[in-house]
Every structure is written in structure tokens, then in C-alpha cells.
Chain A
Amino acid sequence: MSISTSNNSRSITRSVIKFSSRMRPVYYALILLCIIGIVTQPTFLSIRNLRNIILSTTPWAIATIGQSLALLTGGIDLSIGPVVSLTNVIAAFLMKSHPEMVWLIVLLCIGCGLLIGMVNGLAIARLRLNPFILTLATGIIIQGMSLAIMYQPGGLVTPGFLTLSRATLAHIPYPVFYLLILYGIGSFILKRTSFGLSIYAVGGNETSAHLSGIRTELVITAVYAISGFMAALAGLFLASRIGSGDPLVGDPISLDTITAAVLGGTSLFGGIGDLIGGLVGAFVIGILSTILNLNNVSPFYQWIVKGFILIAALAIDLWRQPFEK
């Protein structure tokens, strides 16, 4: 068929157009922020500052993967921040008393994240609980547990564990590789596997997906389990970076991941979006924080700025809907 080749080339140009139109706002934001950074702070492009941006952005860039998936199914995960805090605290707490059992502790933390995610997923998929309220509630429970384990920052991680976040390979910090690996695998699963397609299908039209023979309950449960898993990785990364535990370290992360994902083009209505957009969105937030810090803007004002950015992202999402149809 001669039509098929022209169809293919047309679909390629179309996907390029689609790609650029979907990514435009967040890429503009990234470029704009970099320019502002370079202009206002001569040190912005220094190796130290770039490394700093990567180190500080990595935790919520990791957690954003889970959030993006939850949003793609038409849900949301507000327990991500608390899970980050919990795993962070558990790691620092246990490594202080048992520094030799690093890997066991890491596995324990990951298991915690998976378990919490699975519970969330089962409650949402089976009991049909509202994801927003449910994960808000489980988040509060988990936050309480973190504070019960450690009511103020403390603990200490095994010295070798620190290198996981701080080491470099050929001058490239390790976190870059983590992000490449996680986003690479994640994007591959989302775009190329039947599980990934099922996630889009569930978010796009759950009834249809179910009637097409997709095990929608399984897909939803798996997505929240992955979200818990990613949050645990983010918590462990923070433990390695800070060197100790902090029961409130994950506090802003739930909202930051939503902002990052929505900025990156993932729809709050489900079924539209991808992971890479969320990664860029995460860096937009990371760079913005860095610029504000470098310019000595009080953290309180940073909250205000972040709130407005989230509202702007929501407005863009809503405004974009009719054009997609």
C-alpha cells in the first residue's frame, strides 16, 4: 500500500507537531528560567550550582514518575510526600543502630513503599474510594508514623550510603544516571508495553478498557504500587543526600510532583501525558527554587510562588482540554 508510507511520514510530522505543542509551555518555562538564572546570578552556570540543582531536584523528579502514572489513570497520589518522609526516617533511624545492614534496610524501605502503594491501589480499584481523599488520609497516617519514629531530624546513615547520591562518574553526578535509568525504563513501559497502553486506556475511558478485557483493577493497583515504590526511592535518595533523617522532608513533595507532572502536560483528567514532561516540570521547579534561594528570597515567598505555579498549570490543563477534542 502506497498510502501507508505517506501515512507514516504524516504521522511522524504530526507527532512532532503534537510533541512540540504539548511540551511548549514547560520548555519555554525551562528556557526562561535558565535565562533569568544566568542573568541574575553569574554563578548559575558553575559546576557546583548545576550539581546542586540536580541533587536537589532528583528526589521529586523520581517521585514525579509515580505521580504522573497515578494522574494518567485519572487518579492522584497525595501520599507520595509522606512515604518519602517515612522511608527517609526509617533508613536514617535503622542505619544509625545497624550501619552494617544497609541493603536489608534499603529493601525494607522499598517494601514499605510498595506495600503502602498497593494498599492505596486496592482501596481505589476494589473499594472504589476517591483517590484524592483516600491518599490524603493514608498520607496523614504515614506522616504520623514518621513523626512517631523520629519527632525531629536525626539519625545517621551508613557512611558508604552517602556515595550513592554524592559520587560522580566521569564528572557526571550519579543522580543523572538514576534519572536516565528510571525515566528510560518508565517511558519504555508506558509507551511500548501493553501495561503502559492499559494505563492510558484506564485513564481515558475506564468502562471501555474494562469491556475490552483489560484487568482495570490490576492496572490501577500496580500503578499506585509503583508510585509507592518511586516515593521510597526518593526517600532513600534524600537519606543519602542529607546523611540523616527528617520526618517532614517529604512534606512539599506531594504537591511538587503534581505541579511538575501537570506543568509537563499530564492531564488531571487522566489519559493524556507522559513521563518526560514531568521530568522537565520537576526541573522547572528545582531551578526556580535555586534561583529564589540564590537571590535570598524567603522560603515563605517560595510557597506563594509555588502555589501560583500550580494554579497556572491547572489553568493550562483546563484551557487545553477543548483543543484536544
Chain B
Amino acid sequence: MNDPFLEMRDINKVFPGVHALDSVSLAVMRGEIRALVGENGAGKSTLIKILSGAYRADKGEIWLEGKKAEITSPLRALELGIGAIYQEFNLVPHLTVAENIMLGQIPTNWGVINTKEVQSRAKEVLHQLGIELDINQIVAKLTVAQQQIVEIAKALARNLQILIMDEPTAALNTVEIGNLFNAIRMLKRSGVTVLYISHRLAEIFEIADSVTVLKDGKLVETKPIQELNRDEVVRMMIGRQLTDYFPPKDTLGETIVFSVRKLCLESKLFDINIDIHSGEILGVAGLEGQGQSELVQAIIGSIKRDRGDIYRDGELIKIEDPADAMKAGIGFIPDDRKQDGLILIRSVNENITLPSLQKRKTSLLFIDFRREKEFVSQLIEKLAIKLTGRFQLVRSLSGGNQQKVVVAKWLGIQPRVLVMAEPTRGIDVGSKSELHHLMRELARQGVGILMVSSELPEILGMSDRIIVMSRGRIVAEFLSEVATEEMIMAAATKDIVSQETVKCE
């Protein structure tokens, strides 16, 4: 009885540039509810994707009931009784609720679907969850919360031994969360083992038996829930010293260079108001996927706002498209530089000149190459981009130098405002520090900077002021002198009970 039901031993997984999991081991008993916690990028999702067959481990073994299990595919995992609810929705949009719930295990007679049984079993599962939902509705027409429920029902419909849940409550309201927890407790009583990932610590203390903390791909500790309190968990999740060196901060200007008023985006952003002073770096913190990326996209016009005004130097500006933002002197450094920030297969020269081509035209329509050379060389020198020549392909640069190219590109338009998403994600320490100094220097010259970052040390070290986002809202604001990692994490993980009552009119 004291043998663990599930054991993962020495699991290793390396992605290009990241050691996502470094010899992680854990053992879970039958019927145990184990919470997995950790900061963004700690390796929780990778770990459960290995368990559910979506990824394969580079090294390591998985044992079930004392027998070694080879989990080669999602299908194999399901055969072994392991099922998962992933963070991103995995529903087929144009099938019905019932079909989605039963997908992969549709009851048939000689290949012919037993529609009655599909419907009755889907109904049964929804009933277990205490939820009313039209099972013949097409999933594409459901709300996000309803889709989440279908996702959960789909997992319950399989007679699983191990149920993995990755942030299952992200889109649910309090009542729905209560129903979900009842269903989980019921599963526990029938001997199902649950791995539960959540950022919301209150939930973990309500439902879990034990907690495993991961950090930077390594196991920190596993403890029974009774031996822990909230602060200890937060400390284990953060568990690092502020060793990074950040440039000294400066006094802020008086004028407001950039404002956002009453910005709304359906079910993503609710009444966002932001002011940035000249020379200020405003840090946007929060757990991943709380509306930060929607916020920057709405500001620069790559997604359409439902409402909300944007002002630059006190003047209302119309931004319908990234080109409008550029004209207004707003530069955008996206979090995914390879996808959104650069044209990898073209040269450094071309990438840097792209947003500001208009500025270096001859009287005809041609590009003035002499001016271009001067312009690019200056920027390369200013940012200390290491390369063999300005015609080197961006693809062949290191991450840090690639990011400098992205920044150089926007310096070319002489921005008044820079919107930066994860400006130093995945780059080496040296380039990181150089970029931080550059950001501070730009601020000193009067540029207002909005910096979204999921790295708390960066938020604290770089920002003059910090706002925290959760579920599409600004839930806290701190001056950086008084803010601590604990304060930010506490604000970011606090549950908002009355979320449904806030409407975006």
C-alpha cells in the first residue's frame, strides 16, 4: 500500500536553448491529489506533457504500479489510463459538445456510431459536474468557460487512473470551480490520482494533498500540504537572489508622454488605464496569459480594440494598424522575436532599415544607399551588435544579437514610446545587461517605455513603476522602491471572486 502508484524518475528534456527539465523525479500515491507549482517556465507543462505522451523525455523512466511504462504517444497514455486537460484548448470546433466529450472513444457497433450512447454518456458526465450544457451545440459557439467545461468533461468521460489538469480553472467562475473540485474529490474517492497545476495558491490549499515545487526545470521540493503555508510556497517558487545587476534609476520627467484610457477588448481586457511619464519605464507584471500580450497588441493596433483611447503627448491619436503606431512614434518589440520581430532569412541591414525606409529616399523613389550605410553602421555601433558585416543573415546571429537588431530597427524611427514585450527573454546575461542599460539610456533621453516581463527580477530592477495584471485587469500598482517579489506574486495569484460582475461597457 505504501508503494507509489506513479513514479517519474530522472526525467530530462532539452529544447533548443533551454534545459526544460533537469533530472526531475516524483512519486505519487493512488488517489492522491498532487499540486505542481512553479513560476512561468519552471517546467510544469513540459513534465505533464511527457507523462501524457505529447512529448517524449530525452532521458528518464516512468513507472506505473511498479511496472515500467513506455509512453510513446497520447494514444498509449490513454490506454494506460493517463489523460490530460491542457492549458490550450484541444477541442474540435465544429463537432458538438457530446462528440467532443466522447472523441477518441466513440461507442460504435461495427464502426457505426451509437448516437444514443454518445449522448447519454456525455450527459452523464456533465451531470456529474453539475453543469447544464446543450450537448448538441457546436463547440465553436460556446463561451471560453463552457469550452473549458467540455475539456474537463472529456477527461472525466474516460475511466482514467491518472488525470492531469493544467490550469483547469483559468476560465471558470467561482461556482464552476466549486463543481469542478467536487468532481475531483469524487474521482479521488474512486482511486484516481490527480496531478493539478495551478498558479492560484488558494485553490491548491483547498484541493491538493501534497505539493511539488519546480523551478527552472529542477525539482525544489515535495511536501504534504499540511506542512506548508502560502508564504513558504511562494518563497520556494521564487527562491533566488537578486544577483542581476541593473543600471541605476533616474528621476522621472513631469510630462506624460503616453496614455491609455478605458481600453477594452472582449473577454480579454477590462478598462485598462495607463500613464507613462517621459523617461519612465513602466513594468507590466503578472502570470502568463493574463492579457499582457493582448494589451501590447491592442496598443500598437495589431488587434482591434473594442473601445479605448490612446494619447501621445496629451494628443489623441488614431491607431488602427501597426503602421499608425509607427507613424505616431510608438515602437514595438514583440516577445517572439523570431516569429514577429525579424525576417530571419534576410540580412541585418534589411531588417534594421525596414521600419524607416521612407526616411532615406532620394528625391525619386529610390533608396539612398550611402545614407543607409551610415544609418545602419551607426546603429550597429551604438548597440554593439556583434556580426561579420551588415549583410550577415539575422538567422545566424545569437539570440542576444538578434534582439539587439529588433531594438535597432525601432530606434531608427526615433520613437517617443517603446512597447517592449519580454525584452530579454532567452538571451545571455551579457546581452541582457547591455539591453537593460540601453533601455535606461533611452528613458533618460525622454522615451517612455512600457515593458511587459514575466521575469520578476527584471520587473523590479528595471521599472520605475509596476502594474500587475490578472484576468485582463490591472489589479495592483506599486512604486518600484517599495515593491517586492512577494507583493507582486501575491497580487498576481489573488483570486478575483467578483470577476463576472465587472463588465466592459
Interface residues of A (CB under 8 A from B): 1, 3-4, 7-8, 10-11, 14, 192-197, 200-201, 204-205, 207-215, 271-272, 324-325
Contact = CB atoms under 8 A, between A and B. Distances in A.
Contacts of B170: none
A271 B108 contact: no
Interface residues of B, number: 32
Contact of A271 (B54, B75, B94): B94
Given A7-B136, A210-B74, A213-B78, A324 B94 contact: yes
Given A11-B136, A209-B103, A215 B75 contact: yes
A7 B111 contact: no
A197 B103 contact: yes
A324 B94 CA distance: 9
The secondary structure that dominates the A interface is helix
B413 interface: no
A192 B112 contact: yes
Contacts of B106: 194, 197
Interface string B78-96: 1100001010001111110
Given A7-B134, A201-B95, A208-B90, A324 B104 contact: no
Contact of A200 (B94, B105, B154): B94
Given A193-B108, A197-B106, A205 B140 contact: no
A193 B78 CA distance: 21
A325 B140 contact: yes
Given A204-B92, A211-B74, A211-B86, A197 B111 contact: no
A97 to B, nearest CB: 41
Interface in B44-82: 52, 54, 74-75, 78-79
Given A193-B108, A194-B106, A211 B94 contact: no
25 contacts: A1-B123, A7-B134, A11-B136, A14-B136, A192-B113, A193-B108, A194-B108, A194-B111, A195-B111, A197-B95, A197-B106, A201-B92, A204-B94, A204-B95, A208-B90, A208-B91, A208-B103, A210-B74, A211-B74, A213-B78, A213-B79, A213-B104, A214-B103, A272-B94, A325-B140
A214 B99 CA distance: 13
Nearest to A195: B111
A212 B136 contact: no
Contacts of B92: 200-201, 204-205, 208-209, 271
A195 B90 CA distance: 19
Contacts of A194: 106, 108, 111, 113
Interface of B: 52, 54, 74-75, 78-79, 84, 86, 90-95, 99, 103-106, 108, 111-113, 115, 123, 132, 134-136, 140-141, 154
A210 B49 CA distance: 13
A49 to B, nearest CB: 39
Contact of A193 (B91, B93, B99, B112): B112
Contacts of B154: 212
Nearest to A205: B92
B159 to A, nearest CB: 13
Contact of A201 (B75, B86, B103): B103
Nearest to A193: B111
A213 B105 contact: yes
A192 B99 CA distance: 12
B468 to A, nearest CB: 32
A272 B136 CA distance: 16
In the A-B complex, the 7 residue pairs with the smallest Cβ-Cβ separation, listed nearest first, are: A212-B104, A204-B92, A213-B104, A208-B90, A11-B136, A212-B103, A194-B106
Contacts of B52: 211
Nearest to A211: B74
A193 B113 contact: yes
Contacts of B54: 211
Contacts of B108: 193-194
A14 B86 CA distance: 31
Given A205-B92, A272-B94, A324-B140, A213 B75 contact: yes
A207 B73 CA distance: 12
A128 to B, nearest CB: 16
A113 to B, nearest CB: 23
A324 B140 CA distance: 8
B332 to A, nearest CB: 26
Contacts of A4: 123
Given A192-B113, A193-B111, A193-B113, A205 B93 contact: yes
A195 B106 CA distance: 10
Nearest to A18: B138
Given A193-B108, A201-B103, 17 more contacts: A7-B135, A8-B136, A10-B134, A194-B111, A194-B113, A196-B113, A197-B95, A197-B106, A200-B95, A201-B95, A205-B91, A208-B92, A211-B84, A212-B90, A213-B75, A214-B75, A214-B104
Most central of A200, A205, A209, A211 by chain B CB within 10 Å: A211
B273 to A, nearest CB: 30
A7 B137 CA distance: 10
A271 B111 CA distance: 20
Contacts of A192: 112-113, 115
Nearest to B99: A197
Contacts of B141: 325
A204 B136 contact: no
A36 B341 CA distance: 55
Given A7-B134, A193-B112, A205 B104 contact: no
A271 B123 contact: no
B74 A271 contact: no
A207 B90 contact: yes
Contacts of A14: 136
B124 to A, nearest CB: 11
A219 to B, nearest CB: 12
Contacts of B90: 205, 207-208, 211-212
A43 to B, nearest CB: 43
A182 to B, nearest CB: 18
Contacts of B84: 211
A192 B107 CA distance: 11
A118 B92 CA distance: 25
Most central of B52, B84, B93, B105 by chain A CB within 10 Å: B93
Contacts of B99: 197
Contacts of A196: 113
Nearest to A188: B112
A204 B79 CA distance: 24
B140 to A, nearest CB: 6
Contacts of B104: 209, 212-214
A186 B324 CA distance: 52
Nearest to A272: B94
A190 B42 CA distance: 43
B284 to A, nearest CB: 29
A195 B108 CA distance: 10
A271 B91 CA distance: 12
A197 B140 contact: no
Most central of A1, A193, A205, A207 by chain B CB within 10 Å: A205
A225 B448 CA distance: 60
